[in-house]
Amino acid sequence: MKFVFLGTSDTGGIPLHNCTCDVCQEAREHKISNRSTCAYLELEDGSIVLFDAGYDLLCDKFNTHTIRAVFLTHFHADHCLGLIRLRKSESKIECYTPQDTQGFGDLFLHKDSINYSMLQPFETLEIANISVTAVPLMHSKPTVGYLIQTPQKKVAYLTDCACIPEESCVFLKRAKIDHLFLDACYEPNYANTKHLNWESATKYIDDIGADKGYLVHASCKTLVPLKESGKILKYPYISQGFCVEV
């Protein structure tokens, strides 16, 4: 079983529209289009479990797949825009969310084929042979990350966040995580109260003690200073298509 990323960038994506920085130009040259952070598991029967739905081509990517569940981290557009089309599916789709009564756009008003269920903090759901636990995070909207447990591995998908509450840190430490994916939207000199940067994210990964750590939700403006300086981070930023065996 693989945990696969459809995108690993921030809202603007890489390449960013009309941006001529080295990171965006290189992406264009290699025909790379790294969009909003979103991932999936393909289960043994071929069905899909989605983590976030900001990838706007979900209906094309999984046009004939059964989507067993969607786990949203929060209701910002870059994490749920794909639901606008997916809600017109001929099949019913279960979508699990944090405690947010506002949602995004008219998703709650016109639910169509999607059934929304709000998760309690640290609530765990079982789907086939995996379990998914909602882990509270601090962001500008109600937000959770997810601890995903398969028979072989434990994966933490934590995006977006400005900080990880102490109770969540304790929970994650006890889980003994194999792969931890964490928001590091900005470089350290950029002041922001909604997202982590690569230094603060590194400290969290070290503190939680995951076997392997990875950074997500970057923009080209985050990656340009790394490219120009040649700085090597302890935990790498990953790109669209990155996957791990779970």
Query: What average pLDDT does this structure show over 69-77?
Result: 98
Task: Report the pLDDT value the prediction gives residue 218, as an integer from 0 to 100.
Answer: 96
Who contacts 146 (Cβ-Cβ below 8 Å, separation ≥6)?
51, 71, 73, 132, 133, 134, 135, 156, 157, 158
Give 172's pLDDT tier (boundaries 50, 70, 90).
Answer: very high
Question: For 11, which DSSP code?
Answer: S
Burial class for 176, CB neighbours closer than 10 Å (0-12, 13-18, 19+): exposed
Who contacts 103 (Cβ-Cβ below 8 Å, separation ≥6)?
75, 97, 116
Radius of gyration of the chain (CA): 17
- The region that residue 46 occupies, defined by phi over 0 for left and psi between -120 and 50 for alpha, beta otherwise, is left
Q: Give start and end residues of each alpha helix (H) in 14-134.
A: 22-29, 58-61, 77-80, 83-86
Residue with tokens 């690993």: 8
Which listed CATH number (3.40.30.10, 3.90.228.20, 3.40.50.2300, 3.60.15.10) goes with 2-245?
Answer: 3.60.15.10
Distance CA 212, CA 129 (A): 23
User: Domain coordinates of the chain in residue numbers?
Assistant: 2-245
Residue 190 has pLDDT above 90, yes or no: no
Task: Report the pLDDT value the prediction gives residue 125, as an integer from 0 to 100.
Answer: 98
Task: Report the pLDDT value the prediction gives residue 138, as an integer from 0 to 100.
Answer: 97
Distance CA 37, CA 79 (A): 7
Task: Report the pLDDT value the prediction gives residue 241, as an integer from 0 to 100.
Answer: 96
Query: What average pLDDT does this structure show over 55-63?
Result: 91
87-139 tens-digit pLDDT: 999 999 999 999 999 999 999 999 999 999 999 999 999 999 999 999 999 99
Residue 18 has pLDDT above 80, yes or no: yes
Query: What average pLDDT does this structure show over 182-199?
Result: 92
Give 226's pLDDT tier (boundaries 50, 70, 90).
Answer: very high
What Å distances lie between residue 203 and 63, 182, 237, 244, CA to CA? 40, 11, 15, 22
Residue 191 has pLDDT above 80, yes or no: no
Task: Report the pLDDT value the prediction gives residue 96, as an integer from 0 to 100.
Answer: 98
Burial class for 203, CB neighbours closer than 10 Å (0-12, 13-18, 19+): exposed
Who contacts 191 (Cβ-Cβ below 8 Å, separation ≥6)?
none
Residue 224 has pLDDT above 80, yes or no: yes
Higher pLDDT pick, 189 / 141:
141
